[in-house]
Amino acid sequence: MPSVFIQNKNPVSLRKRAVVTDRANARDVLAELLRRRKVDESLRIKSMDGRVFIPVRDGSDISGNMSLSEEEFEKRFFHSSPQSRIKRELEARGLATDGAPEKWTRFGSSVLIRLPEMDEGARHEFASVYAAVLRSSSVYNITGRVRGQFREPEVELVYGPGGDVAHTENGIRFNFDPAKIMFSPGNVNIRTSVREMDLDGKTVIDMFAGIGYFSLGIARYSRPARVHACEINPTSYGYLVRNIAANKLGDVIQPHLGDSRMVSPEIKADAIIMGNFLSFSYLPHALRRIRPGGIILLHDTVSSDMLAVYKYALYRRIGMHGWKGAVLEQKTVKSFAPHMWHIYVRVMVSDNRN
């Protein structure tokens, strides 16, 4: 990413050694000096009386037929990309820049990156550069994917104190520990889309609430009468309770700790949220809770050759339990693995006997 240079209204002058050339040859001379990394890019090149003066680095060995002089130069002030600043700082510390991550995920004051293979000392040094440039207090190295029933992230703290962060998205405050809780930035559009749902006065069940990924946004923006947020992981449930309080949504959301297949089976819902890749196997339990004409929003992973026909498999599954389904929307969220896709489906169900 190129640097963006900003003209300073009150330029600072510095005396510096310079290569002197005529205008006709200036472009070629500058190109050669840049190739040899001799140019002092912190100063502005100047032109005067048909000659061009190019500031060079201190200690530069300028060979060949180039003329040298001592000149006054204006300081050039610029903002460079974080990637450029990280690379320069790594080089200044004598660290290899090959494989240095150019992307990262920020949650509050913490940053998650995926570092190349290196020893523990180098990881800490690398992470300290990212912390300094990105102004973050803690840096985590992503070592794998999420794992297990509780969807725990595989990350290691490599710099800073770690611990809880406060992350704001879509006007919602999420408190969580990045080392304990998975929070996928790739799902932001789906989490944000709850703003558009019309659930005015409805009862909603969130079968895999986590820390409130969907429940909080639904309660804030979709005007439901009640959201029953079920979470089996005690750690996630603790953050769910905190986040409900932090967003002042306790009058709308009722948290439930336990397996959503067994928690409060008497509740009947107008909409059920299934934000987990186990949704297809949990579908019979959702159908026992849904009212006729209700909406089920489920997430699943599907192979490329099944994308176009997924809804028919869904209809068969729904039909096995005495219901009819009508897919209102199917979206591909992101790539999950080679030839596998994370999809989101909104389906309306009705009693097959009617």
Q: What is the tens place of the pLDDT at every residue in 138-179?
A: 999 998 776 666 678 888 999 999 999 999 998 999 999 999
2 pLDDT band, cuts 50/70/90, is very low
More confident residue, 27 or 58: 27
CATH architecture of 4-79: 2-Layer Sandwich (3.30)
As given in the structure block, the two tokens for residue 207 are 């079968």
Q: What is the pLDDT of residue 11?
A: 52
Query: What's the pLDDT band for 64 if we cut at 50, 70, 90?
Result: low
Q: Is 65 left (phi over 0), alpha (psi -120 to 50) or beta?
A: alpha
- Give span(s): CATH 3.30.300.110, the chain: 82-163
pTM for this model (two decimals)? 0.74
Q: Are 170 and 193 in contact (CB under 8 A)?
A: no
SS3 content of the chain, % helix, strand, coil (to 5): 30, 35, 35
pLDDT of amino acid 63: 65
Of the ranges 13-17, 128-132, 152-156, which is most confident? Answer: 128-132
Highest mean pLDDT among 10-19, 62-71, 193-202: 193-202
Q: Which residue has the higher pLDDT, 339 or 59?
A: 339
pLDDT for 8:
46
Higher-confidence residue: 202 or 27?
202
Average pLDDT value for residue range 323-331: 93
Backbone angles phi, psi at 228, to 5 degrees: -95, 110
Structure tokens at 255: 């948290």
**Both structure tokens of 35:** 């190739």
134 or 61, greater pLDDT? 134
Sheet holding 323-337, edge to edge: 253-257, 226-231, 203-206, 269-274, 290-303, 340-351, 323-337
CB atoms within 10 A of CB 55: 25
Which CATH superfamily hosts domain 82-163? Met-10+ protein-like domains (3.30.300.110)
Q: Average pLDDT, stretch 323-346? A: 90
User: Please, where are the H alpha helices in the chain?
Assistant: 23-35, 82-92, 120-134, 188-192, 215-221, 234-246, 279-289, 310-319
* Tokens encoding 337: 């693995």
Quote the mean pLDDT of the chain: 86
Q: Give the lowest-confidence range in 56-65, 99-108, 210-219.
A: 56-65
Furthest CA-CA distance within the chain: 94
In this prediction, residue 186 has a pLDDT band, given cuts at 50, 70 and 90, of low
- By percentage, how much of the chain surpasses pLDDT 70? 92
Amino acid 4: pLDDT:
41
Cα–Cα distance measured from residue 280 to residue 288, given in angstroms and rounded to the nearest whole number: 14
Residue 58 clears pLDDT 80, i.e. is over it: no
For domain 187-351, the CATH superfamily is Vaccinia Virus protein VP39 (3.40.50.150)
The pLDDT value given to residue 3 = 41
Residue span(s) of the chain under CATH 3.40.50.150 come to: 187-351
pLDDT average, residue stretch 70-95: 81
Summarised one tens digit per residue, pLDDT across range 282-319 is 999 999 999 999 999 999 989 999 999 999 999 999 99
Residue 25 has pLDDT above 90, yes or no: no
